[in-house]
Amino acid sequence: MKFSLRRSGALAPAAILLVTLFGAEAGAWAQDQAPAASAESAATLPEPDAPRFVAEEVVQPLPTEEALEASVDGAASLQELVGDMPVENQLSPDMTCLAQAVYFESRGEPLTGQLAVARVVINRAASGLYPSDYCSVVTQRSQFSFVKGGRIPQPDQSSPAWLRAKAIAQIAHQDLWECEAEDALYFHATYANPSWARRKTQVARIDTHVFYR
């Protein structure tokens, strides 16, 4: 069994993300700025612009420490852990954006690939190079091609794919399972050959996505 509880806030009843946006408006498609880039592609590092600030707290309720420990300790695979995660409750807005990125970028991928996509969003938010909350990372201009006009489309909330995306988002956010693309900041579809990828270090190839740092 492979799992990780490295994050100090992983078992707390509540996790609070203090949101300070250092956004950038200029960016490039993962398919090397191609207008017809696939909805399964993410983008490369944008050029920084003037900092923006949003003073607000994003609170994501988490399972109790005892319930979370039982889930992690009893899960022999990522699939089992996904099945153990609470998906009935409504997610916070920031966690919803993370789940939406997983859903729209990778719902047809294996769970390990979905976890890697979530990890890219989380790593960007923590990097200091991108906005520091999930929603601003996902909706940043020219970064994720499923975002249109700064808006994320609504997933089919009755679908099993959406429930899995919610579970994966929580697992990634709480750092409950080791990810093959642990330090990735970029990814693109395998059928693409973006020029920026030659300047990055490949860290994982999972199904139809390649991940870089």
Separation of alpha carbons 61 and 70, rounded Å: 17
Is the pLDDT score of 17 beyond 80?
A: no
User: How do the domains of the chain map onto residue ranges?
Assistant: 14-212
Is the pLDDT score of 41 beyond 50?
A: no
pLDDT tens digit string along 158-212?
A: 999 999 999 999 999 999 999 999 999 999 999 999 999 999 999 999 999 999 9
Ranges 61-65, 151-155, 201-205: which has the least confidence:
61-65
Helices 111-127, 93-106: crossing angle, 10 deg rounding: 130
pLDDT tens digit string along 25-35?
A: 333 333 333 33
Is the pLDDT score of 148 beyond 90?
A: yes
Separation of alpha carbons 9 and 159, rounded Å: 30
Residue 92 per-residue DSSP state:
P
Residue 158 per-residue DSSP state:
T
Whose tokens are 């997983």? That residue is 102
3-state secondary structure of 28: strand
Separation of alpha carbons 213 and 211, rounded Å: 7
* Model confidence, pTM: 0.69
